[in-house]
Chains A and B, each alone.
Chain A
């Protein structure tokens, strides 16, 4: 039997790391670049915004994180309508040919929950235009299936509201989504600490996307490293097949030969 190396495959692209990190909320680009290195991530999310043409000395993300070495995943964070999201990703593609993108269409400013009607519409349009769309979505198994049906490249349900650090609020739904799709399933948003990432992986997810939990930790670089190991540990734990749960004790030492 040929042993296949365990890797993350998104629309024919292969990644060794199952951790995707965001590049927002860091103190500066130096800290961000160090955290990415510590996390081992090969994909980072980036936002599309106006160039500051009046302050030309402002540092550029690309000067710190080389898009030739790390895959940039343009994101539509901050978009509240399908049209805004489409406009943003078409611009992202023009910057340098990016086709693998993250779609995020928000529906509510307070919770930052996704507007799934607009998200579904946008996924369909973008896919037809040749984009490979990784979709931020609610943890609704039916909606996840509909995204798959219109051609999503990856399903990315939230664990909890963006930036909340609450961890996975509905593990059952994530398990159901896992059982219904073969697409890459990546937990996006709401994780707070390394153990949350392990839980996501133990539920059978293919990866996790983390920004705030790393960038806003007291020590972002150390947390980035913790997340890296948590994802690896969770994945190995999932692949190993956990023991059944029992309500009574089962002795670990044999009874035979007891003195």
Chain B
């Protein structure tokens, strides 16, 4: 059986192992992120949420997923 080498990425500052070439959309749905309530940044670039299906993640990618919380 062929062994799949997972790749390491960072989500909100924490390490995470994912399957190689996983799409951003797949990852967000695996993480149960409510896409309509968040914004996503990949390596400091803001991602157009309509295009998350086309984006394939690779090793060392840095993702930031943010939303609104209570604030002054």
Contacts and interface: CB of A to CB of B under 8 A. Distances in A.
Contact of B72 (A24, A51, A53, A62): A24
Interface stretch (A86-94, A199-207, A248-256): A86-94
B64 A50 contact: yes
A74 to B, nearest CB: 7
B66 A49 contact: yes
Contacts, number: 99
B39 A91 contact: yes
- Give the interface centre of A25, A45, A49 by most chain B CB atoms within 10 Å: A49
A240 B2 CA distance: 82
A47 B64 contact: no
Is the interface on chain B under 10, 10 to 19, 20 to 34, or 35 or more residues? 20 to 34
Contacts of A93: 39
Contact of B68 (A72, A162, A212): A72
B38 A95 contact: yes
A211 B32 CA distance: 31
B69 to A, nearest CB: 5
A92 B11 contact: no
A94 B71 contact: no
Interface string B31-72: 111101111110010111100000000000000111111111
A90 B40 CA distance: 11
A77 interface: yes
B68 A47 contact: yes
Contact of B39 (A47, A53, A56, A92): A92
Contact of B41 (A45, A60, A91): A91
Contact of A50 (B13, B34, B49, B71): B13
B47 to A, nearest CB: 8
Given A23-B70, A24-B71, A48-B66, A96 B36 contact: yes
A95 B68 contact: yes
Interface in A98-135: none
Contact of B33 (A24, A26, A32, A53): A53
A90 B39 CA distance: 9
A25 B41 contact: no
Q: Which of B31, B36, B41, B67 has the most CB of A within 10 A?
A: B67
Contacts of A77: 71-72
A15 to B, nearest CB: 19
Given A53-B31, A91-B39, A92-B39, A60 B67 contact: yes
20 contacts: A22-B72, A25-B70, A25-B72, A32-B70, A48-B39, A48-B68, A49-B67, A50-B64, A54-B14, A60-B34, A60-B67, A61-B69, A62-B37, A75-B71, A91-B41, A91-B64, A91-B66, A94-B40, A94-B47, A94-B49
| Nearest 9 interchain pairs by C-beta | A47-B71, A22-B72, A211-B72, A94-B39, A23-B70, A46-B68, A91-B39, A50-B12, A24-B71
